[in-house]
Amino acid sequence: MAGAHVVVVGGGFAGLTAAQALARRGVAVTLIDRRNHHLFQPLLYQVATATLSPAQIAAPIRKVLSRRRSAEVLMGEVTGFDLAGRRVLLSDGECGYDYLVVAAGATHSYFGHDEWAPFAPGLKSLEDAVTIRRRLLLAFERAERAADQGKQQAELTFVIVGGGPTGVELAGAMVEIARNTIPADFRSIDTTTARVILVEAGDRLLGAFPEELSARAKRDLEDLGVEVWLHKRVTQIDEAGVTVGHGADQQRLETHSVVWAAGVAASPIGKALGAPLDKSGRVMVGPDLSIPGHPEVFVLGDMAHVPDGAGGQVPGVAPAAMQMGRFVADVIVRETRGKRAATARPAFAYHNKGNLATIGRARAVAAFPRFNMAGFTAWALWALIHVAFLITFRQKLMVMVDWLWSYVFFERGARLITGEQDGPHGTTPSPQAARRARSGESMSSTPTS
C-alpha cells in the first residue's frame, strides 16, 4: 500500500514510539492527542512531591516530531471511530487513515466508587501531580495555623491507597519531605510527627516483584517512618477522612490528604472500537496487536490486553508500550512496502528487561530476569535508566542537577502552591474527577501509553 497514511491516537510511550519509528522511515503519520505534550509518567510522582517541575518530565509533541517531515501533529479530542469508512472522529472534525494505532492509555479506577475521586486524586497527568502537590503543601500550612492538636494531627496525616510502585514511591517521598526537607521551615508544628500511611488490600507491596523485594520495600518504608497497612481495604473516603475495614476491624483516619494509587482502567475510547474488552476495559487484541476483523487497526500500551505466553498478560509499563510501538511500526512499514501480507504477520513478543521501584533516598528495588538487587545500587541504576529515557538533553541535565542538589542538601526545589484553591479544604478535584462529575469520561487520548 504505497503512500499509506497512519493515524496514531495518543502521544504516550506507545503512540509516540510508533509515530517516531514510522516517520523516521518516511511513512505519513498523524498523531492526535488532546494534550500538546508527551509525559514521562514514571517520574510524575516527583512532581507531586515537589522534587521536579512539570516541564522537566514533559516535552511538546510537536517539538519531538518537528524534524520528521512526514509527521503531523493534531491537538484534538477523539470522540469515536468509523472503522468501515476508516475515519477517526473528532469533536471538531475527522481524520481519514489507512492504518490506525490507538494508544490512549489509562485512567484511574475507583472500583465503582467514583464519588471518592474529589477527595482522593490519582496520578496520571501533570494536572493530577500539581493537585497532589498543592494538597500536600497546603496540609502543612493549615497545620501551622490549626487551633487545636486534633485538627493539627488530621492535617499531618497523609494516606496513600495502593501498594504498587506509585503508592510506594509516593509514600517514601512524602515521609522524606516531612522528616528531612521542611522541619526547619515551620514554627508552630513539628513536621516530623506527620503520619504517612500506605494502605494495601493484598498481602504484600509491589505485587509484580519477587516476594523478597516486596519484603525489602516494606522494611525500607517502615525504616523511613511510613506506616504500612497490609490486608486492609478502604471502604469509604469522604471530605473528613478515610475508613478502612469493616465491622470490628474498622478504623477511621481523620485526614484531608488522600492519594489514590490502587487501580487503573483503560481509556473508555476502547469501547468505540467494538472489540471485546477485559474487566479493566482493555481491548482484547490478536497476536499482532490488531483487533478482530480489522487488521489495519492496532491497539497498544495500557489499552491492550496482550497475553504474555505464561498465563498472564504483558504489564502496563513504559518498556512494554515502547516495544509495542516499534513492533507495530515494523509491521506497517513491511506491508506498505509490499514485503509481507497482513495474513503473514509475526506475533508480538514482550522482552522483560526488569522492573524497578524507588523507595526513598538511596533506597530502591530492582527485579531483572536473572537477578535481583536492592539498596543504593538499585537506586543509582533506577536514576540512570530514568534519566536516559527522558526526551530532551535539557531535561536530562536539569533532572540530574536537581537530583544531585536534593541528595546533597535534602532540598526539594519545586515546593510551590499553585492553582485554584476553592474546593473542600482549599483544594479542587483533579481534571479526571471533574470530567466524571460532569457525565462520564470523555473518549480522548491520555499520555500514559
Spell out where 329-409 has E strands. Answer: 355-360, 363-367, 372-374
- The CA distance from 57 to 37, in Å, is 10
- CA 293 to centroid of chain Cα atoms: 31
C-alpha to C-alpha distance for 182 and 193, rounded to whole angstroms:
12
Cell of 141: 500550612
Residue 408 φ then ψ, to 5°: -75, -40
In this structure, which amino acid lies at residue 436? R
What's the confidence (pLDDT) of residue 56?
95
C-alpha cell at 404: 544531585
Under DSSP, the state recorded for 11 is -
* Residue 264 neighbours by CB distance under 10 Å: 21
Give the pLDDT of residue 421.
Answer: 59
**How many H-runs (helices) and E-runs (strands) does the chain carry?**
11, 25
pTM above 0.85, yes or no: yes
Note the pLDDT of residue 343: 65
Model pLDDT, residue 77: 96
Determine the residue type at 97: Y
pLDDT at position 239, please? Answer: 95
Which H or E run includes 291? Answer: strand 290-291
The pairing of strands 264-266 and 257-260 is: unpaired
Distance between CA atoms of residues 38 and 43, nearest Å? 13
CA distances to 21, 71, 258, 331 from 57, rounded to whole Å, are 21, 23, 24, 30
SS3 content of the chain, % helix, strand, coil (to 5): 35, 25, 40
With residue 257 as reference, give the H or E element that holds it: strand 257-260
AA letter at 108: H
Active-site residue, selected from the candidate residues 72, 155, 169, 296: 169
| Residue 169 a catalytic site member | yes
Phi-psi region of 190 (alpha: psi -120 to 50; beta: other; left: phi over 0): beta
Calpha distance 242→229 (Å, rounded): 13
Angle at 431 between CA 448 and CA 100, to 5 degrees: 40
In DSSP terms, 228 is beta-bridged to: 198
Distance CA 176, CA 194 (A): 10
Backbone angles phi, psi at 357, to 5 degrees: -145, 130
User: What is the per-residue pLDDT across 240-285, written as a single tens digit (0 to 9) for each?
Assistant: 999 998 888 899 999 999 999 998 899 999 999 999 999 999 999 9
What is the 3-state secondary structure of 205-252?
CCCCCCHHHHHHHHHHHHHHCCEEECCCCEEEEECCEEEECCHHHCEE
CA dihedral over 258, 261, 265, 269, signed as positive or negative? positive
User: What are the per-10-residue average pLDDT scores of the chain (449 residues)?
Assistant: 87 97 97 96 96 95 96 97 98 96 94 95 95 96 94 97 97 97 96 97 95 98 98 96 90 96 93 95 96 97 90 90 98 87 84 93 95 96 94 92 89 85 50 47 41
Q: What is the pLDDT of residue 2?
A: 59
| pLDDT value at residue 429 | 52
User: For residue 26, what are the CA distances in angstroms to 70, 111, 324?
Assistant: 6, 43, 19
Cell numbers standing for residue 170:
509516593
Strands (E), 103-233: 106-108, 157-161, 195-199, 227-229
